[in-house]
Amino acid sequence: MRFAVIVFPGSNCDLDMYYAVKDELGAEVEYVSYQDTSLDRFDAILLPGGFSYGDYLRSGAIARFSPVMKAVVAAANEGKPVFGVCNGFQVLLEAGLLPGAMKRNEQLKFICRPVTLVVENNETMFTSSYRERQEITIPVAHGDGNYYCDDETLVQLKQNNQIVFTYKENINGSREHIAGITNKEGNVLGMMPHPERAVDEHLGSSDGLPLFKSMLKEWRERNAITS
């Protein structure tokens, strides 16, 4: 399985994502520039955190128009897994690949600490290695992580089981404590916490590693490949 880590001007978690895949998962991974226009050679697309284009206008608003985003949308439409973390989640929202929007944290302060998440849906290609309602420890690092959607969208998210992760406690004002959602098809995931920073106990937690293992397991099963 070959992963692409998209690098925008201002990305600063691309190294974390790269080494989570390469060193901890043991899969193939490459950095891909925001200027590239094809992702055909990759099986999964990863959008890392950071401050793409300095977060001017809105977080992710400019990155959404980068040349590579047409290829990201195409990959999502083909059913390939597309995973955005923090700023990557914001980019996916701005691109319309996920519903809703991000606001400033309720406290109007940057939050950077480990938090407890609840796995609300363990039947996705990203979460099958977790238990339902499992509590995991994953760090957050964001100032614009307050997820918002209107009432109609919230109903749809619940009906389609698209809410994948929630915060155990209200950390930033996100509606219904939402920390991560998928698209209706289930192959695009966005989340504010950073699982790539929780793939080894030396980092304080390895609770993020099963997410990457789930993606690899799904790909192997889909392609009838055994380890």
Q: How far is CA 34 from CA 4, 89, 93, 150, in A?
A: 11, 16, 17, 31
| Containing structural domain, residue 162 | 2-222
What confidence score (pLDDT) does residue 163 get? 98
Q: Is residue 174 part of a domain?
A: yes
Q: Rounded distance, CA 166 to CA 199, Å? A: 19
CA angle 80, 115, 31 (to 5 degrees): 35
Q: Is residue 194 part of a domain?
A: yes
Q: Is residue 227 part of a domain?
A: no
Q: Is residue 114 part of a domain?
A: yes
Question: In the chain, what's the furthest Cα-to-Cα distance?
Answer: 48
pLDDT band at 210 (very low <50, low <70, confident <90, very high): very high
Q: Is residue 20 part of a domain?
A: yes
What confidence score (pLDDT) does residue 227 get? 47
Do 192 and 145 touch, CB atoms closer than 8 A?
yes
pLDDT tops 70 at residue 56: yes
Q: Is residue 61 part of a domain?
A: yes
Sign of CA dihedral 25, 49, 117, 154: negative
Q: How far is CA 147 from CA 15, 39, 107, 177, 180, in A?
A: 25, 28, 14, 8, 9
Render pLDDT for 93-141 as a digit per residue (tens, 0 to 9): 999 999 999 999 999 999 999 999 999 999 999 999 999 999 999 999 9
What confidence score (pLDDT) does residue 224 get? 78
Domain count for the chain: 1
List active site positions: 86, 194, 196
Q: How far is CA 81 from the centre of its chain?
A: 10
CATH number of the domain to which 150 belongs: 3.40.50.880
Classify residue 62 as left (phi > 0), alpha (psi -120 to 50) or beta: alpha
What confidence score (pLDDT) does residue 124 get? 98
Question: Mean pLDDT over all residues of the chain?
Answer: 96
pLDDT band at 36 (very low <50, low <70, confident <90, very high): very high
